[in-house]
Amino acid sequence: MRDRQNARKRAQELVAQMTLEEKASQLRFDSPAIPRLNIPAYNWWNEGLHGVARAGVATSFPQSIGLGAAFDRELMRQIGSVIAVEGRAKYNASSAQGDRDIYKGLTFWSPNVNIFRDPRWGRGHETYGEDPYLTGELGKQFVEGLQGDGEYLQAAACAKHFAVHSGPEALRHRFDAKASAKDMRETYLPAFEKLVKEAGVEAVMGAYNRTNGEPCCGSKTLMQDILRGEWGFEGHYVSDCWAIRDFHENHHVTDTPEESAAMALKAGCDVNCGSTYLMLLKAYEQGLVTEDEITQAAVRLFTTRFLLGLFDETPYDQIGYDQLESREHLALADRATAESVVLLKNNGILPLDQKKLKAVGVVGPNANSRAVLVGNYHGTSSRYITVLEGIQDLLGDEVRVYYSEGCHLFKDRVEGLGHRQDRISEAVSVAQNSDVVILCVGLDETLEGEEGDTGNSYASGDKQDLLLPQSQRELAEAVLAVGKPVVVLNMTGSAMDLRLEQEKADAVVQTWYPGARGGAVIAKLLFGEISPSGKLPVTFYEDTEDLPDFEDYSMKGRTYRYLEKDPLYPFGYGLTYGDVQVTELTLPEKAQEGEGLKVTLRAENRSQTATQEVLQVYVKALESENETPNGKLAGFARVYLAGGESREFEIDLDPNALTVVDQTGKRLVEGRRFSVSAGTGAPDRRTESLTGRKSVTKVLEL
């Protein structure tokens, strides 16, 4: 068990030996060395959303949204641990050479537990999806895996971006996200609360925008009243990068850099990613901050450094360079890819039987793309395996594999001197000469991502609509018109308008950004070596007409909990090659308010194909006007069933499953009757029509 009290005492003693200037210098993300006190330089900025990022070679996992689609707590804990181990290996190697550069430290600014409330948001694929309970459960496991349970922190996790942050990217430096008390407590805050109170996350990062009028990196409400006051957070707070500068330049809540620095520090922001804290000494001279306030922030930061064991000998010092991309870590990445892929449609064509095929066509701008494998905030892999390469490797010389890029990812031609859509005729020829076509469409981080990090400058990383780029829509129509069987792989980090593909393709598969070697696993899924088992962590709407305005942060009409119209593909949906059905649901005879709630399900695989499945439980208060219109996910478990196997599974439900949040933001139990639904998807009409089966539903009474 880590001794925070002792670490804090040591931090206080060390900081007490510093001058005011030295204390202030340690509040920068690139904290300089203080040689006279034997303090080395330390850079707080490191990234690890789905593998150690931006610091050279490390194991590459699927992007976070794909990890969300796995609905697998154990997997998340193991991935967090691998990231920490590889981070330690890199830290040990680089610091031994005196290299203390950016992305070389042990404070990882991950996970992103914002709610993916709108599919247009370019950064949504950094999150675990649209559901607060799923996000909190997976985020908790990631943090606990990353930080470990030893005497010292294995690495330090950071919950970001606190708190109401999900676009638009173009407006984030001046935007005021207005959320009701109900939406705050029901949707935007729960995952952060869980990570603070249950996972002991060491850091929290503020968002760029304002929330209900206050800049998130200078918000008394968020940082003092809720985070430290109500939740008892004891770690350190970091600003998003150059967010404090926005106080005076864009939000106009202050007039000078000194005032901005003072506002952030007084609210409790300990480390500044940016340069505004260079003005702290001037702010001190102007009487805007006190030395005690600077000291308090420095003590919090050195408490984290002592908890990491950076001034001691620790067992982690022995983690060697051989841990990077170890066989075990790469196998875990493959498992993550296999669990993340979501089968959206299958008319029976999948899995493909290679014995019946003479030629396979692989077509599309993402078929042989490395960029689409890794999403954003990624590291470097020593090997990349694209979908094309994965299929070629799996089929060997037994089946001919034809390939065409088909079109540019978004431009109207591949070759600058070529005619418009200069690769479509080749794609049609490939389709004509193939027994089946694997059509690989989608986006990559140049089209959806973070403002400033993306080539999608016209939308700052956000999507303007849910359509694939025009070049790809024309390619899809041309290939589908040939009349050969077509399997569409949608390689994106977010929901797209796939109505054409759903109507005309033989199968539709959502691969997300599957990791550097993901093409090999996808090939195995297509040819039946693995059964797909991922579930959608977000709703796939038909188009943006089904959505409120992007800048509207009210949850009305958003996500499966508040949806007013049937979606194209619902939250929690995903097919397998098996046929798992929930046949029985057993509730406790009498539920007691405030007690842990368990339900028992019997699930049966009515096929002869072994598969993993995600069993899901949804709860809705039947006598409350404050319940979400469609109820909420309250429990889930990833299970394995052999062909023909029937088993019972016990599932723990969310402790808040029987509660609702009223308009004042108060969480309470309202009413005595609750519907409890269990199945392999959500209990909605669209899931029923796509799967041909209903959830088992019973009424629970308090």
Residue 557 falls inside a structural domain: no
- The mean pLDDT of the chain is 97
β-strand partners of 510: 342, 490
**pLDDT tens-digit readout, 267-307:** 999 999 999 999 999 999 999 999 999 999 999 999 999 99
Per-residue pLDDT, averaged over 552-572, amounts to 97
Residue 105 falls inside a structural domain: yes
- 488-506 burial: b if 16+ Cβ within 10 Å, else e: bbbbbbbbbbbeebbeebb
The active-site residue out of 339, 448, 501, 579 is 448
Q: Is the peptide bond before 655 cis (omega within 30 degrees of 0)?
A: no
Are residues 360 and 311 part of one domain? no
Residue 170 falls inside a structural domain: yes
Q: Which helix (H) or strand (E) holds 605?
A: strand 598-605
β-strand partners of 569: 540
Are residues 289 and 349 part of one domain? no
Burial of residue 663 (CB within 10 Å: 0-12, 13-18, 19+) is: exposed
DSSP state of 184: I
Per-residue pLDDT, averaged over 650-662, amounts to 97
**pLDDT tens-digit readout, 489-530:** 999 999 999 999 999 999 999 999 999 999 999 999 999 999
Residue 144 falls inside a structural domain: yes
Are residues 25 and 162 part of one domain? yes
Is 144 annotated in the active site?
A: no
Residue 700 in contact with residue 587, Cβ under 8 Å?
A: yes
Q: Which of 509, 538, 567 is the last residue of a domain?
A: 538
Residue type, 634: A
Residue 26 falls inside a structural domain: yes
What is the reported pLDDT for 455?
61
Q: Which of 280, 299, 315 is the last residue of a domain?
A: 315
- How far, in Å, are 76, 86, 302, 509 from residue 491 at the CA level? 22, 27, 42, 9
CATH number for the domain spanning 676: value is 2.60.40.10
Are residues 253 and 295 part of one domain? yes
Are residues 530 and 585 part of one domain? no
Joined together, the tokens standing for residue 273 give 């990613």
Residue 330 falls inside a structural domain: no
Q: Which of 134, 142, 120 has the alpha carbon at shortest distance from 48?
A: 142
Residue 544 falls inside a structural domain: no
What is the reported pLDDT for 593?
59
What distance lies between CA 466 and its chain's CA centroid? 19
pLDDT greater than 60 at residue 141: yes
**pLDDT tens-digit readout, 210-244:** 999 999 999 999 999 999 999 999 999 999 999 99
Three-class SS string for 238-261? Answer: ECCCCCCCHHHHCCCCCCCHHHHH
What is the reported pLDDT for 590?
72
Per-residue pLDDT, averaged over 333-357, amounts to 98
Number of structural domains (the chain) is 3
Decide: helix, strand or coil at residue 362: strand
Q: Domain residues for 606?
A: 580-701
What's the Rg (C-alpha) of the chain? Answer: 25
**pLDDT tens-digit readout, 257-274:** 999 999 999 999 999 999
Decide: helix, strand or coil at residue 450: coil
Residue 66 falls inside a structural domain: yes
What is the reported pLDDT for 456?
65
**pLDDT tens-digit readout, 316-331:** 999 999 999 999 999 9
Decide: helix, strand or coil at residue 133: helix
Are residues 199 and 147 part of one domain? yes
Per-residue pLDDT, averaged over 531-560, amounts to 96
Distance between CA atoms of residues 480 and 614, nearest Å: 32
**pLDDT tens-digit readout, 368-425:** 999 999 999 999 999 999 999 999 999 999 999 999 999 999 999 999 999 999 999 9
Per-residue pLDDT, averaged over 117-136, amounts to 98
Per-residue pLDDT, averaged over 639-654, amounts to 98
Q: Which of 645, 613, 440 has the alpha carbon at shortest distance from 532?
A: 613
Are residues 145 and 22 part of one domain? yes
Are residues 350 and 310 part of one domain? no
Burial of residue 181 (CB within 10 Å: 0-12, 13-18, 19+) is: middle
What is the reported pLDDT for 595?
65
Is 448 annotated in the active site?
A: yes
**pLDDT tens-digit readout, 420-445:** 999 999 999 999 999 999 999 999 99
**pLDDT tens-digit readout, 459-496:** 689 999 999 999 999 999 999 999 999 999 999 999 99
Distance between CA atoms of residues 460 and 208, nearest Å: 15
What is the reported pLDDT for 457?
58
**pLDDT tens-digit readout, 31-63:** 999 999 999 999 999 999 999 999 999 999 999
Share of the chain above pLDDT 90, in %: 96
Are residues 80 and 205 part of one domain? yes
What is the reported pLDDT for 61?
98
Residue type, 580: V
CATH number for the domain spanning 355: value is 3.40.50.1700
Per-residue pLDDT, averaged over 139-148, amounts to 98
- How far, in Å, are 1, 100, 317, 569, 620 from residue 306 at the CA level? 14, 17, 14, 48, 46
CATH number for the domain spanning 211: value is 3.20.20.300
The active-site residue out of 118, 130, 240, 339 is 240
Quick one: CA dihedral 253, 256, 257, 263, positive or negative?
negative
What is the reported pLDDT for 330?
98
Distance between CA atoms of residues 320 and 122, nearest Å: 36
Are residues 518 and 376 part of one domain? yes
Distance between CA atoms of residues 649 and 678, nearest Å: 11
Are residues 622 and 528 part of one domain? no
Q: Which helix (H) or strand (E) holds 9?
A: helix 4-15
Q: Which of 280, 315, 350 is the last residue of a domain?
A: 315
Are residues 165 and 111 part of one domain? yes
Residue bearing the bigger pLDDT, 590 or 64: 64
